[in-house]
Amino acid sequence: MNKTIEAALNQQINAELHSAYTYLAMSAHFAEKDFDGFSTWMRMQAQEELAHAMKLYDYVLERGGHVALETVAAPAKKLGTPLKIFETALAHEKKITGMIHDLYELARKNKDYATENQLNWFVTEQVEEEDSAGRAVEQLKRAGDNMSALLMLDQQFGARSSE
């Protein structure tokens, strides 16, 4: 496997683990504030991120590459209101989309069709990721400071099974 692509895939594994860490911190924050539904949503999101990391991890190994695990950066400590948190999540997903697209471009430039094919799944997944975070932001904007609307959303988000 091309060493530049291997390094970029390892960097993406690290980014996905950081995403998991980020959402786990958000989940803990919501649990501490008794928003159990938002907490569940974020916890499931963290699990999905771990699955993204493992998908790339398995792929690197399958290609006979080397998995190099590096330090995972700590998530933000100050999180803010539910709206602010979901806005942060949306911005984070947009950043990840950019990283996936750069990786895709790199695979294409190096004629690594297998990696390009593997990344197709991630390109599609990012459309979903941005959509679900974006919808959450819109719903929270509509709820504003209305506590009963927020609690209703909290309950609704807690019903998330998977996405």
Binding site for ligand OFO (CB under 6 A): 16, 19, 49, 52, 93, 96, 129
Give the residue with the Cβ less far from ligand OFO, 87 or 129.
Answer: 129
**In the complex, what is the shortest distance from the CB of residue 35 to ligand OFO, in angstroms, rounded to a whole number?**
20
| Residue 149 C-beta: closest distance to ligand OFO, Å | 26
The C-alpha atoms of residue 130 and residue 12 are separated, in whole angstroms, by: 17
CA distance 6 to 85: 33
Judge whether 140 and 82 are in contact, CB under 8 Å: yes
Q: Which residue is nearest to ligand OFO (CB)?
A: 19
CA distances from 76 to 135, 137, 152 (A): 22, 19, 27
User: What is the closest distance, in whole angstroms, from the C-beta atom of residue 146 to ligand OFO in the complex?
Assistant: 29
Compute the C-alpha angle 15/57/112, nearest 5°: 90
Q: Which is nearer to ligand OFO, 16 or 87 (CB)?
A: 16
Provide, rounded to whole angstroms, the least separation between the CB of residue 42 and ligand OFO. Answer: 11
- C-beta of 123 vs 151, nearer to ligand OFO: 123
Counting every residue, how long is the chain? 163
